[in-house]
């Protein structure tokens, strides 16, 4: 599963223009030694080999020299919501096309705070998710926004929105998916419990189902988990404050 996820990630990063040999080489650069025949088989099963390059709206050159920011997320100890947001992009295969989903999760609650679905990987995709998250949450200044080093997150337009709202950009180290574990977990859950179990007529059908999955299921489950955790913590604190005999009645 780790190899398959890495192949899918590389294919998305390079807009499905990489063949199995180039993806094999990239996997090896990331420390995954995989035979090129296995890579070709997985790509064939996921329908990545036959997909022809599409024309995308590109806002910056792929050979950009945009600034890459320090990884601040790995040093954080979260105590509440809206301290850390984690962003990621994945692809979803429909009957006749690939579409792309950008998501932003709160690092503490693991709730989805913003998302966007589109046919393009251009910067407008994650920007739409970011603007939705800002509009719904109104986060305080100083929030850390963590993502990978993709051009969509490093582009001037995206960084300008972060700076406008007092957010601090943070980016993953190369070949380290654990920096983005909460988003990876959400994406796996979404695909396993929603995407792979349904068939969608078109983009709007998919959009409606994703919205229902996020709002009616995933975020509600995380609310229940947070409530249960807080309740147990409160109970433990109250018990630890009690001393033996504290509640006994004292008689002369």
Query: Residue 104 in contact with residue 136, Cβ under 8 Å?
Result: no
Query: Residue 60 in contact with residue 153, Cβ under 8 Å?
Result: no
10 vs 16: which has the higher pLDDT: 10
At 94-150, the pLDDT tens digits run 888 889 999 999 999 999 999 999 998 888 999 999 999 999 999 999 999 999 888
Query: Residue 172 in contact with residue 89, Cβ under 8 Å?
Result: no
The pTM of this model reads 0.66
* Alpha carbon distance 113, 219 (integer Å): 9
Contacts of 158 (CB under 8 A, 6+ apart): 123, 126, 127, 130, 152
* Alpha carbon distance 46, 91 (integer Å): 11
Pairing of strands 98-106, 84-93: antiparallel
3-state secondary structure of 98: strand
Q: Which whole number is the average pLDDT over 166-175?
A: 87
**Cα–chain-centroid distance for residue 10?**
15
Query: Residue 104 in contact with residue 130, Cβ under 8 Å?
Result: yes
- What is the token pair recorded at 6? 């890495």
Confidence band for 228, pLDDT divided at 50, 70 and 90: low
* Alpha carbon distance 90, 188 (integer Å): 10
Predicted pLDDT of residue 213: 92
How many CA atoms, within 13 angstroms, populate the side-chain half-sphere of residue 213? Answer: 18
3-state secondary structure of 118: strand
Judged against a pLDDT cut of 60, whether residue 53 lies above it is answered with no
Q: Residue length, the chain?
A: 252
Judged against a pLDDT cut of 70, whether residue 250 lies above it is answered with no
Lowest mean pLDDT among 120-129, 170-179, 213-222: 170-179
Lowest mean pLDDT among 47-56, 113-122, 129-138, 223-232: 47-56
Which DSSP string do the residues of 120-182 spell out, in sequence order? --STHHHHHHHHHHHHHH-PPTT-EEEE-S-HHHHSHHHHHHHHHTT-EEEEPPTT-GGGGHH
The stretches of the chain forming alpha helices (DSSP H) are 2-13, 20-29, 36-45, 124-137, 151-154, 156-164, 181-193, 203-212, 219-241
């Amino acid at each position: 599963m780790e190899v398959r996820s890495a192949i899918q990630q590389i294919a998305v990063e390079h807009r499905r223009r990489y063949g199995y040999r180039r993806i094999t080489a990239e996997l090896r650069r990331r420390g995954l030694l995989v035979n090129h025949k296995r890579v070709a088989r997985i790509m064939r099963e996921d329908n990545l080999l036959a997909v022809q390059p599409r024309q995308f709206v590109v806002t910056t050159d792929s050979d950009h020299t945009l600034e890459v920011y320090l990884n601040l997320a790995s040093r954080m100890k979260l105590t509440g919501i809206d301290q850390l947001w984690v962003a990621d992009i994945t692809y979803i295969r429909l009957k006749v096309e690939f579409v792309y989903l950008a998501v932003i999760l709160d690092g503490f609650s693991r709730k989805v705070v913003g998302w966007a679905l589109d046919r393009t990987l251009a910067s407008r995709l994650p920007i739409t998710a970011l603007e939705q998250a800002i509009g719904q949450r109104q986060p305080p200044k100083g929030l850390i926004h963590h993502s990978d080093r993709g051009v969509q997150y490093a582009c001037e337009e995206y960084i300008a929105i972060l700076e406008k709202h007092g957010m601090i950009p943070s980016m993953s180290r190369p070949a380290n998916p654990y920096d983005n574990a909460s988003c990876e977990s959400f994406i796996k859950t979404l695909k396993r419990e929603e995407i792979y179990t349904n068939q969608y007529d078109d983009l709007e059908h998919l959009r409606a189902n994703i919205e229902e999955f996020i709002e009616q299921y995933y975020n509600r489950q995380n609310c229940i988990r947070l409530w249960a955790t807080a309740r147990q913590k409160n109970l433990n604190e109250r018990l630890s404050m009690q001393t033996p005999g504290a509640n006994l009645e004292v008689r002369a």
